[in-house]
Copies of this chain bind each other. A is one copy, B any other.
Amino acid sequence: MLAQDQPVEWTPKAHDLLEAAAALFYERGIAAVGVDTVAQHAGVTKKTLYDRFGSKERLVAEYLRSREEQRRAALVAALDEARDPVERVAAVYDGTRAWAAAQPVWRGCPVVNAHAEINTAGHPAYPLVAEQKRWTRDLFSGLLVYAGVPAEHRDALATQLLALLEGAQVVVGMGADPHGFLRARDAGVALVRSVLA
């Protein structure tokens, strides 16, 4: 078995495995997908899966890490196109919408979904889950500093912007409104404007 904290060796088949695992875990749920299924979809033997990742838990952790990497890349891409402070807040919603649209199917935030299935604190994906929302909140917080939002409003507003972003992912993922990201963007912009005025 692969040692627990030893990094994954990214052979071509390891990439195939991650790709297959990511799609299956996201679309069907983590516990609902067995390692045999993942290996089969990747066109690979189970032994190769264990040679590269060492355990299913580790594969899950890598799945979440890679999805989060994608997301942050989409966010910086969207942020690079906006210089106006309020537009930069809006860009977070646009970037998330673009990231969601890039997935073959959208079933809500992968981290939230994984959180619903991971109970043991010892799971290697646990720290990733805990860190992700904090990171996004800090992102908003920084954008609010840049926008000149007074410190007394900053914490509350960061939470509100984060709630809108998370809520939009849920709303779209459950099919309650296909324009959820645009609506959330408008609301976020309105909230920021109201404390700047």
Contacts and interface: CB of A to CB of B under 8 A. Distances in A.
A19 interface: no
A110 to B, nearest CB: 9
15 contacts: A28-B119, A29-B118, A29-B119, A31-B117, A108-B115, A116-B116, A130-B174, A159-B177, A159-B184, A162-B167, A163-B167, A164-B164, A167-B167, A191-B191, A194-B194
Contacts of A156: 179, 183, 186
Interface in A29-63: 29, 31-32
Contacts of A191: 187, 190-191
A83 interface: no
Chain A contact residues: helix, strand, loop or mixed: helix
Given A164-B160, A194-B194, A174 B112 contact: yes
A137 B32 contact: no
A interface, size bucket: 35 or more
Contacts of A137: 176-177
The 4 closest A-B pairs by CB, nearest first: A167-B167, A163-B167, A113-B116, A31-B31
Contacts of A166: 166-167, 170-171
Interface of A: 27-29, 31-32, 107-109, 112-119, 129-130, 133-134, 137, 156, 159-160, 162-168, 170-171, 173-177, 179-180, 183-184, 186-187, 190-191, 194
Q: Which of A28, A109, A171, A186 has the most CB of B within 10 A?
A: A171
Given A159-B179, A167-B167, A117 B116 contact: yes
Given A156-B183, A156-B186, A183-B159, A116 B167 contact: no
